Amino acid sequence: MSKACQYCNEPNPEGWFNCRSCGNKSSPQKYTVNSIIRDTPMATAIRKDQINFGTVDMEGHMKKTKASNDKLAKDKLHNSVAKIWKKDKVTLK
C-alpha cells in the first residue's frame, strides 16, 4: 500500500483500501484478472477440446473411449489378481 492516495495525494498512513478524503482506491492495482495463469490439470482440460468433432463423430469417440476404459479395467483386475497369486504362491494349471 502506498502512503498517499494515488488521486488526491492525501496521506494514508493507516493503509486504508479506499481514500478517506476522496473515496477512490488509494493504491493502484497490483494484479489484473488476466495476469493470473491457471496451471492445474483441470484448467488444462478446460482449455483443450477433448473431442475433435471435425474428425471423429460422437459414436466413434464413445466406442474408442469404452474400449480404452475396458482395457484399463481388465489390466487393473489382472494386476491385482496377479499380486494375490504371487503373495499366496498360487500357480495356474
At 8-41, the pLDDT tens digits run 999 988 888 899 899 898 888 877 666 555 566 6
Domain boundaries, the chain: 37-88
Closest CA to 21 of 29, 11, 34: 11
pLDDT for position 38: 59
CA 65 – CA 72 distance, rounded (Å):
11
pLDDT for position 78: 87
Highest mean pLDDT among 23-32, 42-51, 83-92: 23-32
User: Does residue 90 have a pLDDT over 70?
Assistant: no
pLDDT for position 43: 61
Lowest mean pLDDT among 6-10, 43-47, 68-72: 43-47
Provide φ and ψ at 4, rounded to 5°.
-140, 150
CA 16 – CA 25 distance, rounded (Å):
9
Contact assessment for residue 15 and residue 2, using Cβ atoms and an 8 Å cutoff:
no
User: Does residue 3 have a pLDDT over 80?
Assistant: yes
